[in-house]
Chain A
Amino acid sequence: MFGRLKQMLIKEFIQVFRDKRTRFILIGPPIIQMMVFGYAANYEIRHVPTVVLDLDHSQESRELVSRFTSSLYFDVQRQLTDSRQLGDLIERGDATVGLEIDAGFAQKLRSGQTAPLQVIVDATNSNTALIASGYISQIAQGFAAQYQRDRINRIAPQLIEVMPQVELAPRPWYNPDLSSRWFFVPGIIGSLTLVLVITLTAFAVVREREIGTLEQMMVTPIRPAEFILGKTLPFFLIGIFDVTLIAVVGSLWFQVPFRGHVSVLALGAVLFILCMLGVGLLISTISATQQQAMVTSFFFIMPAITFSGFGFPISTMPHWMQLFSYVIPLRYFLIVIRGTYLKGVGMDILWPQMAAMAGLGVALLTVSILRFHKALD
């Protein structure tokens, strides 16, 4: 048994390391994805291009605009003179936010009326528009509160004493700077292992079927179990290697803190990779050619990442889709990854996720091995 398995493993490793393309796949994509998600994928908004049309030219209006100018979130690029210019700049995409202050703004404030600030936001990217609107209303409210206090102070200083105020004291736990990078980089461990292990496994088995070596192997005394083990063990080790690589680069290069126990993350990675080997094998049993395997993998990978909570929060999905996410192993692994990285929690909290992955892994591997046996006939 071990003799034949050993031969299979020797062969697999020679094949993986002899092929330049495969060698690259082990190192290249993890690094590239790290760079993409570490630097480019970002939910934060900074320096939103902003234009201002101030038709009031009052001290008050200048005061309001200066609050935007000094904010990190907005980049006030131009002062306009005509409302047509504003529409034009938004349409061209040169500005995302347009602020319009009509004549009489200061007049209304001084007489104690409500003064409008018209805000035009390019909402083609709904996410940016939403966040920007939040910041704008924060700035406008800050301005209004300050203005009120100043006036009361001048007219009836004694009233200041009885004016109630609420002060916000936000304490974002685990990620005090609200950095998207801390959210994304650990997640790559999950998404990348998923893509890599599924495709490598599916392709390796389908290729043997396609070129006929699978048949040649099956007339030797090798048992299907030895063949499957010989095929999957190398990819299991490669998966572990890539998890380690991403974890190390993430910690050293991007300075994402790791607060939990390495052993908890390692256990999660092992269970998750077993699930992915099961999926890869399953795809190989339903694909006759490498092309079919590619299409099938794609159909699995896209929803698996979408429903996992990698980028979009699961809690905002419709209820029936949330149910679907329970069979996605990545969902659980991401909780384990983010739990160990940022929260520093251990098995006492993460055991349900571990149990779910173990269950899914056993189920996937059993089905795919049974199907593999059947596919041989």
Chain B
Amino acid sequence: MPEITNSVEPISVEVANLVKRFGDFVAVDQINLEVRKGEVFGFIGPNGAGKSTTIRMLCGLLKPTSGRAMVAGFDVSKNPEAVRQNIGYMSQKFSLYNDLTVIENLRLFAGLYSVPQNILQSRIEWALTMANLKGQENLITGTLPGGWKQRLALGCAVLHKPPVIFLDEPTSGVDPITRRQFWDLIHQMAEEGVTVFVTTHYMEEAEYCNRLALIFRGKIVALGTPTELKRDSMKGELLLVECAPLGAAVEALQSAPGVMDAAVFGNALHLVVEDAATAMPLLQKFLVDRKIAVSRMEKIRPSLEDVFVSLTTGRDTEERKP
């Protein structure tokens, strides 16, 4: 890996105009991004948006149709073998060998990554400790609970200390506590200088990332830190409305003047409006006219989910217009 001495952290993943087509279908459409060393970079988007296709290209599993991607200093199309030696990969589907024991899986992957004999034992010990599987070495992997398997998969992916790791929906199907512990591990590794590229569709997980790219229909529609996205990417402003009855209110508000979107969030409504200050008195009157009791109405800061929904539904309606 080329050493870059710079005040800023070096770039470990660089993607320029990357395109992947399957026949007529454009799965990934001209995406550009840069991830720096030690960053936790989140890739979020609905199913089928192109997240996994992008990760698979970055790991050298798929050949890009056009464009360029550099991972850990190597071009994925020209030098996929060097890329593979320098990355760890964990897919959404648990894919270690279920009929091998914990230690056999670790030894297998250590061998495949050519971890030198003299540090092999200490790396395996380290992975066992990290995955909290000490003392469970001889269990058959298939019998482990989901969370343990996930940690073992991570352990196998990082045995060779790769500078970059790719995690494709690593926490799907894992309980919230295990998920939280898993993210602690990810941050720990990032602090040690490992670049983590992770896809997810859990919004609360997106908050744990240093930076995010939101991908929708193969295109990156927003890119920035979670704070930046919440501040800048929302079209319009967000209002929280507590009122009764909720059902009638949401139906009426869908077609109210100035309301771009209305949705139920728990026992309140979230409304997207152009400008909160002008909209509030008008909406108050609109609801009262329809015999809907409003107990609270205020401008709130959008969550990532609001941003996500507004960015994607906005595009949906735009595209449906003739």
Contact = CB atoms under 8 A, between A and B. Distances in A.
Interface of A: 3-4, 6-8, 10-11, 14-15, 18-19, 211-213, 215-223, 376-377
A218 B91 CA distance: 12
A313 B107 CA distance: 52
A212 B62 contact: no
Interface in B92-109: 93-100, 104, 107-109
16 contacts: A3-B111, A6-B111, A7-B112, A10-B108, A11-B100, A11-B104, A14-B99, A14-B100, A211-B93, A212-B94, A215-B61, A216-B95, A219-B61, A219-B84, A221-B84, A221-B112
Interface of B: 59-63, 81, 84-85, 87, 89, 91, 93-100, 104, 107-109, 111-114
A220 B97 contact: no
Contacts of B81: 221, 223
B95 A7 contact: no
Contacts of B59: 219
Contacts, number: 66
Contact of A215 (B95, B109, B111, B113): B95
B172 to A, nearest CB: 13
Contacts of A217: 112
B113 A220 contact: yes
A223 B82 CA distance: 12
B60 A219 contact: yes
Contact of A218 (B61, B93, B96, B98): B61
Contact of A213 (B95, B104, B111): B95
Nearest to A376: B61
Contact of A4 (B87, B104, B112): B112
A8 B109 CA distance: 10
B87 to A, nearest CB: 7
Nearest first, the 8 closest Cβ-Cβ pairs linking A and B are: A7-B111, A212-B95, A216-B95, A219-B89, A220-B112, A212-B93, A221-B85, A221-B84
B114 A11 contact: no
A11 B101 CA distance: 11
A37 B111 CA distance: 45
Contacts of A377: 62-63
Given A215-B61, A218-B61, 18 more contacts: A6-B111, A7-B112, A8-B112, A10-B107, A10-B111, A11-B100, A211-B93, A211-B98, A212-B91, A212-B95, A213-B96, A213-B97, A215-B95, A216-B91, A219-B60, A220-B84, A220-B109, A221-B113
A7 B108 contact: yes
B89 A216 contact: yes
A4 B109 CA distance: 9
B108 A221 contact: no
A15 B99 contact: yes
B112 to A, nearest CB: 4
A11 B97 contact: yes
A50 to B, nearest CB: 58
Given A10-B108, A377-B63, A211 B95 contact: yes
A75 to B, nearest CB: 55
A18 B100 CA distance: 9
A19 B84 contact: no
B113 to A, nearest CB: 6
A215 B91 contact: yes
Contacts of B62: 377
A14 B108 CA distance: 11
Contacts of B108: 7, 10-11
A222 B112 contact: yes
Nearest to B105: A11
Nearest to A220: B112
Contact of A216 (B96, B104, B114): B96
A7 B59 CA distance: 22
A223 B63 CA distance: 16
A10 B114 CA distance: 15
A211 B107 CA distance: 20
A71 B257 CA distance: 107
Nearest to A7: B111
B104 A219 contact: no
Given A216-B91, A221-B84, A377-B62, A14 B112 contact: no
B100 A15 contact: yes
A14 B140 CA distance: 12
